[in-house]
Amino acid sequence: MLTPLDFLSDLTNPMLSFLPKALIVSVLAAVVCGVVGSHVVLRGMTFIGDAVAHSVFPGIALAFVLQGSLVLGGIVAGVVTAVLIALFSQTRRLKEDSVIGVFFVAAFALGVVIISLTPGYTGSLQSFLFGSITGIPDETVAYTFLFTAIVLTVITLLNKELVAVTLDREMASALGLPVLLLDVALYVLVTLSVVMSIQTIGNILVLALLVTPAAAARMLTDRLVPMMAMAALIGAVSAFVGLYLSWAWDVPTGATIVLVVTAVFLLAWLLGPRHGLLRLLRPKALANVE
């Protein structure tokens, strides 16, 4: 089996230039997803991650047809869908998950139609659905650094306002906070996080990177800022370990990263210092002994 030292050697091998690019994109995407995913988990809006992952589909397909940037195409489609979801959700007549369901299915259906009219898209479609560590262009690495800086900056600037909306939308509105704009901002941040992750994780599994590290961190702390930091760390380490294992065992990278981060979540769920299963069962066990 490939040892960690061998893996580090491969990372510096000029013949394997795609490998360090895959590592950079995976780790940065995991960090961003961990930070943004903390807000997603706290707001109970996990469905939005899946919705955005599907809504970028037509943008990527159209960009392929026009021979443009798949990343930018995905972002445009995701942002448009995110804004529509935020606008239609403001009436409160329909629950947010209902509005999300309408738009993400429609967006995915539009992508299917575009693909059906586009010969030669099959190979790229497979990379889009399952990720590909060998097909990451230099421009994607540049975009990833740019999006990472943008997302982390916006989250830092709007963190208090986003938390206020998460805790009590009506109160936040009464205090004069622009709830609609904050919803749009969060949806756009989710869109950027998803698009960053699709290249290595793939469309089908990207929701796991957005939710699972944050869910694991939620089992370890009750405070938001430490939760975001832990989620980012869990995601980054899982991305590194997942890439190493996939390279050593010749298995799909995205799926391996997801399995690693899921294992971390299970450990947090079991061993969490305050909310872990063993901690919750311990008082009952001591009571039975007495």
Instruction: Please report the DSSP string for 167-235 in residue order.
Output: H-HHHHHHTT--HHHHHHHHHHHHHHHHHHHHHHH-TTTHHHHHHHHHHHHHTT-SSHHHHHHHHHHHH
What is the greatest pairwise CA distance in the chain? 73
Q: Work out how many domains the chain is built from and give that number.
A: 1
162 or 68: which leads in pLDDT: 162
Percent of the chain with pLDDT strictly greater than 90: 36
What's 231's domain CATH number? 1.10.3470.10
Side chain identity at 263, as an amino acid letter? Answer: A
Whole-number pLDDT of residue 286: 43
In this structure, the number of other CB atoms found within 10 A of the CB of residue 122 comes to: 9
CA distance 129 to 132: 9
Whole-number pLDDT of residue 129: 67
Angstrom distances, CA of residue 231 to CA of 30, 173, 182, 203: 9, 29, 22, 20
Provide the pLDDT confidence category of residue 123 given band limits of 50, 70 and 90.
Answer: low
Contact 32, 173 (CB under 8 A): no
Whole-number pLDDT of residue 212: 95
H or E element, residue 120: none
For residue 273, what are the domain limits? 4-289
Does residue 246 surpass a pLDDT of 80? yes
